[in-house]
Chains A and B, each alone.
Chain A
Amino acid sequence: AQSVTQLGSHVSVSEGALVLLRCNYSSSVPPYLFWYVQYPNQGLQLLLKYTTGATLVKGINGFEAEFKKSETSFHLTKPSAHMSDAAEYFCAVSEPYTGRRALTFGSGTRLQVQP
């Protein structure tokens, strides 16, 4: 069974500061990993994904994440926060090549950006 833990349901940063959103997962096989963003009253939009290959993944809007197998982590970072980054962020995991084709999501982290 898979699970995802996002540490911190709310994170607040100042505009221009580093953004770090934490995600740890458990999976019995090498996983596929995703970060999605949800702006108010909208659906989820893919920020970035890791499947295979390079462990540092770059996504949209200046975000990136690094897959660390030894730490079972996939933390999301952005060097300099912008007001428009205020949203809820979800980490998700799936197992490749299995019958379960759904994603398992973390509980989400709401990012607040202070001026």
Chain B
Amino acid sequence: DVKVTQSSRYLVKRTGEKVFLECVQDMDHENMFWYRQDPGLGLRLIYFSYDVKMKEKGDIPEGYSVSREKKERFSLILESASTNQTSMYLCASRLSGRGTSNEQFFGPGTRLTVL
């Protein structure tokens, strides 16, 4: 079974702090994703990475950056946390290439509160 883990289930930070959210997958997937989930808005894509050191902006990248130095690890960085970044953050991974179904495997999520 694919396993996607996230470093924290719950996190409380103060406005202006630098925040790191870590995600690790164990199935050698090329593609990894960061989404945020807010009530009534579903999941919105922040960034995705299609391979090591490769990244692309998603639909809502403002205020976020990412890092992918190793294939199994994809980090989301909030350079200066703000209260409007209080949300549930979900990481996912996917096997790349034609013939794959585009199915994504999700981690358990990190609920971040910024005070």
Taking beta carbons and an 8 Å cutoff, which residues of A are in contact with B?
4, 9, 32, 34, 36, 41-46, 49, 51, 90, 94, 96-97, 101-103, 105-108
Q: Give the residues in chain B near A41, CB-CB below 8 Å.
A: 9, 108-109, 111
B42-76 Cβ-contact flags toward A at 8 Å (1 or 0): 11110010100000001000000000000000000
Contact B50 A101 (CB under 8 A): yes
Q: How far is the CA of A90 from the CA of B50 in the complex (A)?
A: 24
What are 8 A-B pairs with beta-carbon distances under 8 A? A41-B111, A43-B106, A44-B90, A46-B103, A51-B101, A90-B42, A101-B102, A108-B42
Q: Give the residues in chain A near B108, CB-CB below 8 Å.
A: 41-43
Q: Interface majority SS on A: helix, strand, loop or mixed?
A: loop
Q: How far is the CA of A56 from the CA of B33 in the complex (A)?
A: 29
Chain B residue, CB-CB nearest to A108? B42
Contact B48 A102 (CB under 8 A): yes
Q: Interface majority SS on B: helix, strand, loop or mixed?
A: strand
Q: Give the residues in chain B near A101, CB-CB below 8 Å.
A: 31, 48, 50, 94, 96, 102
Give chain A nearest CB distance to B59 CB in angstroms: 9
Chain B residue, CB-CB nearest to A50? B101
Contact A105 B43 (CB under 8 A): yes
Which 5 A-B residue pairings sit nearest by Cβ, starting from the closest? Answer: A43-B106, A105-B42, A107-B42, A44-B106, A105-B43
Interface residues of B in 2-23 (CB under 8 A from A): 4, 9
